[in-house]
Amino acid sequence: MSTIKSDIYGVLAECKNPKQLIDVAQLVNNSGYKKFDTFSPFPIHGMDKAMSLKKSKLGWIVFGHGLLGLIGGFSMIYYMMVIDYPLNIGGKPLFNLPAWIPVMFELTILLSAFGAVFGMFYLNGLPKLNHPLFTSDNFKKATDDGFFICIESEDPQFDSEKVQKLLKNAGAENIEEVYDL
Amino acid sequence: MSKKYEYVPEPALVKGNHDFSSITALVTDINMRPTPKLWYVAFGISNLLLFVLLFSIAYLIWEGTGIWGLNQPVGWGWAIINFVWWVGIGHAGTLISAILFLFRQGWRTAINRFAEAMTIFAVMCAGIFPAIHVGRIWVIYWVFPIPNSMAMWPNFNSPLLWDVFAVSTYFTVSLLFWYVGLVPDLATIRDRIKSKAGKIIYGIGALGWRGSNRHWWNYEKSYMILAGLATPLVLSVHTIVSFDFAVSIIPGWHTTIFPPYFVAGAVFSGFAMVLTLMIICRKIYKLEDIMTVDHIEKMNLIILVTGSMVGFAYIMEFFIAWYGQVEYEKAIFIIRATGPYAWAYWIMIACNVLSPQFFWSKKLRRNVTFTFIISIVVNIGMWFERFVITVTSLSTDYLPSSWGYYSPTMWDILTYIGTFGLFFTFFLLFLRFLPMVAVAELKGVMPQADPHNYNEDGEYVEPTVEVPEPKKISTE
């Protein structure tokens, strides 16, 4: 039978409220841990500073997509209306940019929105239907009213006992080890 | 001289003594409780109406658009009226979810999920009409730039084609926006629901969301960008819908006021529809703590503002017709107010211009029953607005010899009634299976969510507002 104990994923601890979570995150960050994450049912103001999160790259993804929509939309219409199927409507110019603006605009928005949604999921590594943290029963509260912090074993400084002590001293509760699947 | 200074605090967004978990329970328990009997009754009636719609469409495809009351020159009838009406209703959802988000209006969180769902289903109802109006629905793909055996492309100079792109983009972006908002709440249900099937289905929908703050960081950015994209989009959609009319040379349509006037009208009717649905749902599902009277009052204020804008546009149209000194333009407006369709015109004025004026009274805009009545009256009025615009201009065109009176047939009416079946079928499914309030967002605007509202010991303290003492002005 499989008696091999799987590898440790990290140490999970629960905080009482958003304020305590921010304080603990700040402490963990100051202690030099890099691979850690906090979990809350809603985004908490100031958490980016406490965790030293870098600016999201999403804006650039959206900009790229928007540009693609604009240029792609223009090229498509130009090809169809001027090159491939020129249609003489009352002798008006074939290259009729003002009338093309609505469609170019809509395509810019459409592609940007795709970039904003799928880019966000890509940056977050979702969909990922299974995760070591889901093995913790207590963690179910993270989408209700629980505030959690997890220091991952991938962190070079990681030492389970030290980490547990740090979190305990900071006032976190329900400290537990989480194992890889 | 003494003045009394009084600090009027913003009303709390969530009433009653709630914490995070009681809010979760209040909203998501609705999805996890056994289905109420009343739901089945409502769903049955909706399905019946949906069947009416499907039958009307099937008969239309079989027989052709001749079954409608259309004639020459009234080539656009109820189909276009219903299309504009439904799309307009949809706009309130995007306004609430995107524009109010950019303006940091915390109260939107109670109603945005709800209103966005309404948007999606309303746009679905709207999209049916132009699609079946083309007559030969089996070649509907001609409206899209798809390579075909005729080696032809659609005409990108045509407002009708712009409309195809505008409405389909609008539907797609609204759906994406709605889904992004739903992901954290689907995760909440995934973690709470008992049944195995429920866990799997909601789990797939939640995409493995676990509330990570590294994720929230990108998520909030994405949400803000989407709001920034949806705002010009919603304005562009009804602008382009109005171009269907304004770019033509029909008197009464060929006016530059149409885009802003249509957008204001859309928001006006959409807010009314949100109110109609919300007032029923908050009562049935006991969500009065979340969808409070303060919300109703704020929405009534928007109805008052947009209703007055619409009223102003009606006056302006008359003024410009006179000021422009075009005979046809002048004639059409006189015909609108005094001609064969004067009854429709005055219904429109009464419902859209006069009825919202009651909301100048604070007492009336906080009265739930009164608001409910007005919200229905407004939507009747907005339907008649589109009727007046479409039918009067077409039935009395440049050639008096072809003037005639337009009446709908039974099939026009059945198709329109049928779309309510489609709308409510989807809406009831939404109420039953998806959280109707954005739980994660609502928690985010509660005072307990702000780390600043905790003292040194980590205990929650009610936020207090420092009211500055009025400066004493020396009168010596």
pLDDT at A1: 40
Look at A117 and B221 and tell me if their CB atoms are within 8 Å.
no
Contacts B171 to A, Cβ<8 Å: none
B207 and chain A in contact, CB less than 8 A = yes
A123 and chain B in contact, CB less than 8 A = yes
pLDDT at B474: 61
pLDDT at B2: 58
Of B21, B154, B214, the CB nearest to A144: B21
pLDDT tens-digit profile, chain B (476 residues)? 556 666 777 777 777 778 888 888 888 888 888 888 889 999 999 999 999 999 999 999 999 888 998 888 888 889 899 999 999 998 888 888 888 888 888 888 888 888 899 999 999 999 999 999 888 888 888 888 988 888 889 988 889 899 999 999 999 999 999 999 999 999 999 888 888 888 899 989 889 898 888 899 999 899 999 999 999 999 999 899 999 899 888 888 888 888 998 889 998 999 999 999 999 888 888 888 888 888 889 899 999 999 999 999 999 988 998 998 888 888 889 999 998 999 999 999 999 999 999 999 888 888 889 999 999 999 999 999 999 999 988 888 888 888 888 889 999 999 999 999 999 999 999 998 999 888 888 888 888 888 787 877 777 777 777 766 666 666 65
Of B159, B210, B444, the CB nearest to A142: B210
Look at B208 and A114 and tell me if their CB atoms are within 8 Å.
no
pLDDT at B460: 78
A129 and chain B in contact, CB less than 8 A = yes
Rg (CA), chain B: 25
Distance CA B18, CA B26 (A): 10
Specify the length of chain A in residues.
181
Q: Measured between CA atoms, how close is A8 to chain B, in angstroms?
A: 19
Contacts A181 to B, Cβ<8 Å: none
| Lookup: tokens for B26 | 């209040």
Contacts A81 to B, Cβ<8 Å: 153, 155-157
Look at B444 and A127 and tell me if their CB atoms are within 8 Å.
no
Nearest to B219 by CA among B236, B232, B231, B206: B206
pLDDT at B272: 92
Q: Where are the domains of chain A?
A: 8-55+131-179, 58-123
Q: A13 has which bridge partners?
A: A149
What is the average per-residue pLDDT within A65-90?
Answer: 91
Q: Where are the domains of chain B?
A: 35-144+152-449
pLDDT at B472: 66
B180 and chain A in contact, CB less than 8 A = yes
A8-15 and A173-179: which strand pairing?
antiparallel
Nearest CA in chain A to B219: A120
What is the average per-residue pLDDT within A90-95?
Answer: 87
Q: Is the pLDDT of residue A2 over 50?
A: no
pLDDT at A171: 80
Contacts B220 to A, Cβ<8 Å: 43
Contacts B149 to A, Cβ<8 Å: none
Q: Which of A112, A120, A135 to mutate to test the interface with B (most CBs of B within 10 A)?
A: A120
In this structure, whether the domain defined by B35-144+152-449 belongs to CATH 1.10.3720.10 is answered with no
B334 and chain A in contact, CB less than 8 A = no
Neighbours of A107 (CB within 10 A): 22
Q: Which of B97, B162, B225 to mutate to test the interface with A (most CBs of A within 10 A)?
A: B225
Collapsed DSSP state (helix, strand, coil) of residue A1: coil
Look at B448 and A17 and tell me if their CB atoms are within 8 Å.
yes
Q: What is the 3-state secondary structure (H, E, C) of chain B?
A: CCCCCCCCCCCCCCCCCCCHHHHHHHHHHHHHCCCCHHHHHHHHHHHHHHHHHHHHHHHHHHHCHHHCCCCCCCCCCHHHHHHHHHHHHHHHHHHHHHHHHHCCCHHHHHCHHHHHHHHHHHHHHHHHHHHHHCCCHHHHHHHCCCCCCCCCCCCCCCHHHHHHHHHHHHHHHHHHHHHHHHHHHHHHHHHHCCCHHHHHHHHHHHCCCCCEHHHHHHHHHHHHHHHHHHHHHHHHHHHHHHHHHHCCCCCCCCCCCHHHHHHHHHHHHHHHHHHHHHHHHHHHCCCCCCCCHHHHHHHHHHHHHHHHHHHHHHHHHHHHHHHHCCHHHHHHHHHHHHCCCHHHHHHHHHHHHHHHHHHHCHHHHCCHHHHHHHHHHHHHHHHHHHHHHHHHHHHCCCCHHHCCCCCCCHHHHHHHHHHHHHHHHHHHHHHHHCCCCCHHHHHHCCHHHCHHHECCCCCECCCCCCCCCCCCCCCC
Neighbours of B454 (CB within 10 A): 19
Task: Quote the ipTM score.
Answer: 0.89
Q: What is the pLDDT of residues A97-131, one digit of tens each?
A: 999 999 999 999 999 999 999 999 999 888 888 88
Q: A152 has which bridge partners?
A: A10
A107 and chain B in contact, CB less than 8 A = yes
pLDDT at B306: 92
pLDDT at B3: 63
Structure letter (DSSP) for residue A37: E
Q: What is the pLDDT of residues A142-159, one digit of tens each?
A: 888 888 888 888 888 888
Of B24, B166, B226, the CB nearest to A113: B226
Q: Measured between CA atoms, how close is B349 to chain A, in angstroms?
A: 32
